[in-house]
Amino acid sequence: MTSLLPSALPQPLPAGASPEQLEALAADLRAAGLQPLRSSGELEQLAADAFVYSPVLQPLLQGRRAQVGVRASSVEQVQAVAAACARHRVSLTLRGSGTGNYGQAIPLAGGLVLELSGLRRLRTLDPTTGVFTAEAGILLADLEQQLQAGGRDLRLLPSTVRSASLAGYLAGGSSGIGSLRWGFLRDPGHLLGLELVTLEPQPRRLTLDAAAAEAINHAYGCNGIITAATMASAEAVPWQQLVLEFDAWELALAAAQRLPATALLLNALCVLEAPVAALLPWPQGCPAASGQGHRVLLLAAPDALPALEALLPALGGRLLWQAPQGQSRGIPLRELCWNHTTLHARGQNPGFTYLQLLLPQPEAAALAALRQRWGDDVLWHLEGVRAQGQQRLACLPLVRWRGREALDALIHHACELGCLLFNPHAITVEDGGLGGVDAEQVAAKARYDPAGLLNPGKLRGWLEL
Ligand SMILES: Cc1cc2nc3c(=O)[nH]c(=O)nc-3n(C[C@H](O)[C@H](O)[C@H](O)COP(=O)(O)OP(=O)(O)OC[C@H]3O[C@@H](n4cnc5c(N)ncnc54)[C@H](O)[C@@H]3O)c2cc1C
């Protein structure tokens, strides 16, 4: 059985910068009006990420950090940092908010980390089309608020919406709230263009159209520095948060298959097996989970509520709680789903890790086989998604850590059953979500980062050239 779990860092990696290189780099940064961050506290802060959810990645990435950090708040400053790195041949890793799950923003070979939280403006919002351009470091929650003031909404959001940045989501994320309607970030039609800075002695500031931007989307910042993104938005809807409960797992699963096939306007659907629901905090007013009922969380348009309530008896479920999004107290539903489920479960028991799979259709047979073989070692958390135009169920099961062999065996079993793996225990872009080398991503790196200085070690296609 070939292991799908890394046991060493990808190779070859460049050596870290020498003290002379670092001094020369720091002098250039200061000359550009930038403050190099060199203290161990600052560098440690710039090396945090959620890779700790993976006991496979933890020993490989723990302690990896930059030799110098810097924060930029204008595109000109980004160009100055890129020029200095290219001139002194120091590697550069980009950082948004550092909420990635696989160490995407952790430098494997030292060098410089560039944080863009100062680039945070919504530059334009077209009131007719809803197309907007926003800067790389804007927090998604701030962007959402500003779009909503114009009657628009982000189509897709990670459950880390409150802390994650726009460019970090594009370069490191994939899906989330809204995926039930809008699919995945890499689906054509979401990202309409990028402003990009190249890593060269004279960095270019380029405007890429949708086709050219595709290669930068989900490339971990390995092939260009995003300074702004142009994206499509959705009409704003005052989403209602609903918690449904089912006595039998099969009924909850059937509801998760049936509801997206109706004309109800839904933005998110999350299914939590009873023992998972029992590990989570619940919004104020929502009954705590007893460990018996399986829960389905929905974000639904207000006009969906009467029809949903009429459907529920036939589905065998009951409505436990409802409240408008943004107006409930305690935890909002969107911070109970996607990888927030894992976060809360690990808060109760750090012995949990997780997987990310797209289930084959029909889902019930594969899930039954997995549940039968893995029993209590794997607890089920599903998310409704639209994949290639079809309503499907993805899952982020909680997995009790029993060692690498057991995790490998689970992954192989799931793949044999037809599941598609998005491996959260991988370091490179290709071994995580993409599956294989994307020649366009590698070609973009040759164009925009010819010396290979951006986030070394994360793009396998470049290492294999
Ligand atoms: C509890 C939890 C829940 C999560 N839920 C979701 C979810 O629902 N959906 C999802 O997709 N992800 C999810 N994630 C992963 C992560 O939060 C998101 O992908 C998030 O959007 C990353 O944004 P960030 O600003 O933290 O990026 P970072 O982690 O800082 O960076 C991510 C990647 O983007 C690169 N990058 C950052 N800025 C730039 C730039 N300007 N130009 C080029 N590259 C850049 C970095 O180098 C890195 O490779 C979750 C993580 C956690 C811990």
pLDDT for position 436: 87
> What does DSSP assign to residue 196?
E
Expressed in angstroms and rounded, the spacing between residue 453 Cα and the centre of ligand 1 is 20
Q: Domain 122-235+457-463 adopts which CATH fold?
A: 3.30.465
For ligand 1, say whether the CB of 220 is within 6 Å of any of its atoms. yes
Distance between CA atoms of residues 372 and 375, nearest Å: 6
Distance between CA atoms of residues 21 and 332, nearest Å: 47
As a whole number, the mean pLDDT across the chain is 97
Q: What is the mean pLDDT of residues 187-196?
A: 98
Split at pLDDT 50, 70, 90, the class of 211 is very high
Q: Tell me the pLDDT tens digit for each residue of 83-94.
A: 999 999 999 999
Q: What is the mean pLDDT of residues 290-308?
A: 96
Prediction pTM value? 0.97
Domain 19-115 and domain 240-421 have a common topology? no
Architecture of domain 240-421: 3-Layer(aba) Sandwich (3.40)
Residue listed under structure tokens 């992954």: 411
Please determine, for residue 435, whether its predicted confidence score (pLDDT) is greater than 90. no
For ligand 1, say whether the CB of 260 is within 6 Å of any of its atoms. no
Q: Tell me the pLDDT tens digit for each residue of 221-280.
A: 999 999 999 999 999 999 999 999 999 999 999 999 999 999 999 999 999 999 999 999
pLDDT for position 433: 76
pLDDT for position 284: 96
**Dihedrals φ, ψ of 431, to 5°?**
-80, -15
Please determine, for residue 137, whether its predicted confidence score (pLDDT) is greater than 90. yes
**Dihedrals φ, ψ of 94, to 5°?**
-90, 150
For ligand 1, say whether the CB of 432 is within 6 Å of any of its atoms. no
Distance between CA atoms of residues 352 and 53, nearest Å: 8
Please determine, for residue 164, whether its predicted confidence score (pLDDT) is greater than 90. yes
For ligand 1, say whether the CB of 167 is within 6 Å of any of its atoms. yes
From the options 3.40.50.1820, 3.40.50.10470, 3.30.43.10, 3.50.50.60, give the CATH code of 19-115: 3.30.43.10
Residue pair 106/61 in contact by the 8 Å Cβ criterion: yes
Distance between CA atoms of residues 355 and 414, nearest Å: 10
Q: What is the mean pLDDT of residues 119-147?
A: 98
Give per-residue burial for 13-43: e unless 16+ CB within 10 Å, then b: ebeebeeebbebbbebbeebebebbeeeebb
For ligand 1, say whether the CB of 54 is within 6 Å of any of its atoms. no
Residue pair 313/279 in contact by the 8 Å Cβ criterion: no
For ligand 1, say whether the CB of 99 is within 6 Å of any of its atoms. yes
Residue pair 67/93 in contact by the 8 Å Cβ criterion: no
- pLDDT over 90 percentage in the chain: 97
pLDDT for position 235: 98
Residue to mutate (ligand 1; options 71, 101, 381, 395; most atoms within 8 A of CB): 101
Whose alpha carbon is nearest atom 7 of ligand 1?
158
Expressed in angstroms and rounded, the spacing between residue 25 Cα and the centre of ligand 1 is 27
Distance between CA atoms of residues 370 and 261, nearest Å: 25
Expressed in angstroms and rounded, the spacing between residue 221 Cα and the centre of ligand 1 is 11
Distance between CA atoms of residues 295 and 281, nearest Å: 13
Boundaries of every domain in the chain: 19-115, 122-235+457-463, 240-421
User: Which runs of E-coded beta strand occur in 349-440?
Assistant: 352-354, 357-358, 378-379, 381-387, 390-395, 398-400, 420-421
Give the residue among 325, 386, 17 at the shortest CA–CA distance from 153: 325
Distance between CA atoms of residues 350 and 343, nearest Å: 9
